[in-house]
Structure 1
Amino acid sequence: MFIQIIYKILFTWLVTRCSGRLLDPSLFKNVLDDVANNGLGVNQIQDHFNSLTYTDTSVDGSSLATEISSSLSSKFNGPIQALKNLKTAIEAEIGNFRTSTSIVECCRARGTTYNSRFRSTVNMNEACITKSENSPSSIRYPNNRIVEVMKKNYQENPELKWQYLGTEDGILMNYPSFKFSTCRDYDPRFRPFYVSSATPVEKDVVIVIDKSGSMNALHQTQTLIQIAKQAANTVLQTLNPNDRFTVIAFSSGAEVLGSRYRDCIKSYELSEATPMNIKFIEGEINRLSVDGKTNYEAALDTAFKFFEKSPRNISGESREKVILFLTDGEKTAGGDPLSLIAKRNGDLENEIVILTYGVGA
């Protein structure tokens, strides 16, 4: 019955939307009432609530506020102190990090058992590390002194759970140890926790992807458009919710991804980098197909519109403004992109940094 009611709502909405007529508010109200009463049992729940007995108890608001404040302080002060302990240890030991380590890789984690606090199988006696496939050859690994501090933090803080350290060499140390499925797929430098610490200034980012016909060429085992999609998705994963972004795909003309479904994007408004928005645009990126010529002018014209029409500052704070331009070669359509950049960026006081990446070069 409940499924039938939901189907009725969706069918009514879709028919109304496709035919272009306004939704009858009284009809929609009746359907929602039907869902509430017959599908969810709201009236029955209310009747049951009304039948319950209760006792009025006077509450001392001042004492209750003090109790809540003390409880919250206890909950947050422990983890904050644990973070300070870890920071102090890292600063003291970083000069002692070595090019080899006895700490096991997470993909080879051993002795793990289920722990309800972590809701996972872990080894509380060890930390583990991961190493990115893009790590340099001269890696410096965190040492066991850091592991000991993590263990002590855990023992002293009943609310504390995962502790981890990401380094500029692409190393992740995780305590407690747990099993990773692969050895080289994870790189902390591309995760929001690392990027937001390394670049704390909030960002406005416009990613521009070349989807012209030449992007169908192969580089090793992948097409250039596949490489560009992966690069764009990786950038999206480094953003945090305080950043704003949009993605433009271009060939003979330019297309703002998501503009067919969201009016805010259609009006050249940058989107907040929330997980939901990022997931939505990732889906749009993955559906891109190649065709047409290479029109840099159209792509850059569209990119600059987002900086011109979005608020330049939020909450009084300045923001870094970046265009990431992913392409495989020279333009084959449109006007001079350098003249456009000089004019439009000049109008914006040259605040926009343009980073160009040659895909497959």
Structure 2
Amino acid sequence: MMHWAGRIEKELEKVLQLVTGVQQMKGIYNEKRNQFAVERNTPKQLVEKVSGDIAKLLNRKRKALERLAREAEDIQREHPWQDGIKENDIQYYDSKGDSDVSDDDDGENLLQNPNSLSLEFVDDPNFKNKVNYSYTAVQIPTDIYKGSPTILNELNWTQSLERVFIENSREDPSLRWQVFGSATGVTRYYPATKWRAPNKIDLYDVRRRPWYIQGASSPKDMVIIVDVSGSVSGLTLKLMKTSVIEMLDTLSDDDYVNVARFNEKAYAVVPCFTTLVQANIKNKKIFKEAVMNMQAKGTTDYKTGFQFAFDQLLNETNAPRANCNKMIMMFTDGGEDRAQDIFEKYNWPNKTVRVFTFSVGQHNYDVTPLQWIACANKGKRPAIRINTQEYLDVLGRPMVLAGERAKQVQWTNVYQDALVWKITIIIINSANSKLHCIISNMCFLTK
């Protein structure tokens, strides 16, 4: 064994000398050594210098964020709502209007939006894209009607943000993308560029981006309970699985979660997750795989599901944090039980846990009990077919009421977004309930 080890060592040494070019490096150094000077570095001073440079960089980004948040609030507050506004009254660059145009063709396909501005773009190595520095661009989700008064008013007042974007860029040339995202789904970004949807299908919705979700509410502890009784089968079960997965996608690294299935009894869908776990990418992937394997059988007992959820949320050993939103999300096909005694035991009168009920599938059950459960516990019964994200609007209300005290800077993890390669995002929670803004290179959101 020692003989073979020695042989391997010698072979590795030969290969490393050949690959690394260490001898060539030594020769270059000896030949040019008069041009070099060796100085002793002080590690503490190096760290302090790097730390100071990073602090200055981030401070410039933060100032840009605060300026945009402040201006967006003021502009929105002063904007007069127009009931009779028409599509012809608004002109903007619809970035999806020419999303099918090749990179070598600067023409615009304006058939989708005849009111879209026609812009010229120039190559910019900083953005690795063709951009226009004089205008912003707008992206609106495919399933939203562009001609509705809500969208048109949003487009009208956000046009004024163009000036702020340009000022930010002049103040800090190192800024890259700056983006405003609205609760209505409107995205306005600077500089303008053509929108690129993968495979020609645009499913982008700013309200589903990680930075938006993280900034739309304070940190959450959530337990999702899923009715898997025998009546939940076929298409209803498929819809329920999809809905739960969409709910998991509304969570960020700031949140903690667990998922349980229930019929006569309640079980964690991931047996080893006996407590709330961080809603990071890895854990959410594990949850999603477990949810897709759920099967329907047995009878419905809401009490077992709620018992499991309250034990997770209110048990000091299990609950990782005390000062955050606590909520239960129940997905069911309907039922008559109101589980009132469970709420009396765990949640009344303080109602420290919000309960949201989601009715999934086509059934003949009376939805009144589900409505009562939600309303009696400071929650809501959203329309599952519209958006599982509606609960975020409810959680954002305390932040709005908190005003200036709710304004704080948060950081997301580094991830790849639609407009940029890799970014870290700063989120600023603002007092205006209408606004969800961002800036990028670093990015931000107001709530």
State whether TM-score is above 0.5.
yes
Mark the CA change 1:287 to 1:312 in structure 2 (over 3 Å): closer, same or farther. Answer: closer
Q: Out of 248, 253, 258, which is 1:241 matched to?
A: 253
**Worse-matched range after superposition: 160-169 or 223-232:** 223-232
- The alpha-carbon distance between structure 1 residues 119 and 338, as it changes in their structure 2 partners (threshold 3 A), is farther
Task: Map Cα deviations across residues 100-156 of structure 1 (whole Å, 9 max, x no partner).
Answer: 532233322455666443345554443222334367752322433212321332344
Deviations 1:261-300 (A, max 9, x none): xx3x0xx211111122223322333343433332323322
Change over 3 Å in CA distance of 1:174–1:290 after alignment to 2? farther
The equivalent of 1:358 in structure 2 is: 359
**What is the deviation of 1:45?**
5.6
Equivalent residue in structure 2 for 1:274, among 272, 275, 280: 280
C-alpha contact (below 8 Å) 2:276/2:319 kept by paired residues: no
1:207 alignment partner in structure 2: 224
2:177 equivalent to 1:153: no
Q: Could you say what secondary structure the match of 1:160 adopts?
A: coil
Is the 1:212–1:292 Cα contact (8 Å) retained in structure 2?
yes
Offset at residue 313 of structure 1 (A):
5.5
Paired residues of 1:131 and 1:183 also in contact (CA < 8 A)? no
The answer to whether the Cα contact below 8 Å between 1:326 and 1:356 also exists between their aligned partners in 2 is yes
Structure 2 residue aligned with 1:127, among 106, 131, 136?
136
> Which segment is superposed worse, 243-252 or 43-52?
43-52
Contact between 1:215 and 1:225, CA under 8 Å: does it hold in 2?
Answer: yes
Question: What residue number does 1:301 align with?
Answer: 307
Alignment match, 1:70: 52
**CA distance in 2: counterparts of 1:225 and 1:342, whole angstroms:** 30
CA distance, structure 2, for counterparts of residue 42 and residue 126 of structure 1: 59
> Matches of 1:242 and 1:215 in 2, distance apart?
32
Between Structure 1 and Structure 2, the one with more helix by share is 1
CA contact (8 A) 2:68 2:165 kept: yes
Q: Identify the match of residue 79 of structure 2 among 96, 102, 114.
A: 96
Q: For residues 196-345 of structure 1, what are the structure 2 equivalents within 5 Å?
A: 196-199=214-217, 201-216=218-233, 223-259=235-271, 263=272, 265=273, 268-307=274-313, 308=315, 310-312=317-319, 314=321, 318-330=323-335, 337-345=339-347
The 3 A distance-change label for structure 1 pair 122 and 352 is: same
The alpha-carbon distance between structure 1 residues 225 and 301, as it changes in their structure 2 partners (threshold 3 A), is same
Residue 210 of structure 2 aligns to which amino acid in structure 1?
P
* d(CA) in 2 for partners of 1:232, 1:210: 11
Unaligned runs of 5+ in 2: 30-36, 99-107, 109-119, 363-447
Residue identity opposite 1:64 in structure 2: L
Amino acid at match of 1:198: A
CA RMSD, 1 decimal: 3.8
Aligned amino acid, residue 257 of structure 2: F
1:71 aligned counterpart, secondary structure: helix
State which of 171, 176, 179 in structure 1 corresponds to 2:195: 179
The answer to whether the 8 Å contact 2:223/2:328 transfers is yes
CA 1:350–1:46: 2 relative to 1, 3 Å: farther
Retained in 2: the 8 A contact 1:312–1:318? Answer: no
Contact 2:214/2:254 (8 A) holds in 1: no
How many residues align structurally? 307
Look up the equivalent residue of 1:179 and give its one-letter code.
W
CA change 1:313–1:290 in 2 (3 A) is closer
Query: Which moves more between the two structures, 318-327 or 77-86?
Result: 77-86
SS at 1:159 equivalent:
coil
* SS of residue matched to 1:294: coil
Task: From 199, 202, 213, give the equivalent of 1:195.
Answer: 213
For residues 132-181 of structure 1, the C-alpha deviation after alignment (integer angstroms, 9 at most, x for no partner) is 43677523224332123213323442332221112222222222334143
Contact 1:130 1:183 in 2 (8 A): no
* Distance change (3 Å), C-alpha of 1:119 and 1:297: farther
Q: 1:312 to 1:269 in 2, by over 3 A?
A: closer
Partner of 1:138: 150
Q: Using a 3 Å threshold, how does the CA distance of structure 1 residues 294 and 90 change in structure 2: closer, same or farther? A: same
- 1:205 maps to a residue whose letter is M
Assess, with a 3 A threshold, how the Cα gap between structure 1 residues 275 and 313 changes in structure 2: closer, same or farther: closer
Q: Paired residue for 1:14?
A: none
Q: How far is the alpha carbon of 1:60 from its aligned partner?
A: 3.8
TM-score (norm 1): 0.70
Please say if residues 122 and 131 of structure 2, whose CA atoms lie closer than 8 Å, have aligned partners that are also in contact: yes
CA contact (8 A) 2:257 2:277 kept: yes
User: SS of 2:231's equivalent?
Assistant: helix
Question: 1:345–1:351: 8 Å Cα contact kept in structure 2?
Answer: yes
Q: How far is the alpha carbon of 1:225 from its aligned partner?
A: 2.7
Relative to structure 1, the CA distance from residue 344 to residue 150 in structure 2 (aligned partners, 3 Å threshold; closer, same or farther) is same
Question: Structure 1: how far apart are the matches of 2:180 and 2:66?
Answer: 13
CA distance in 2, matches of 1:228, 1:84: 40
Structure having greater relative contact order (Cα 8 Å, sep ≥ 6): 2
- Stretch deviating more after TM superposition (74-83 or 321-330): 74-83
Deviation at 1:256, TM superposition (A): 1.6
Which ranges of structure 1 fall in alignment gaps of 5 or more residues?
1-29, 218-222
Normalising to structure 2: TM-score of the pair? 0.58
Counterpart-to-counterpart distance in 2, 1:283 and 1:306 = 21
**2:326 alignment partner AA:** K
- Once the two structures are superposed, the pairs formed by residues 38-77 of structure 1 within 5 Å of their partners are 57-61=39-43, 63-77=45-59
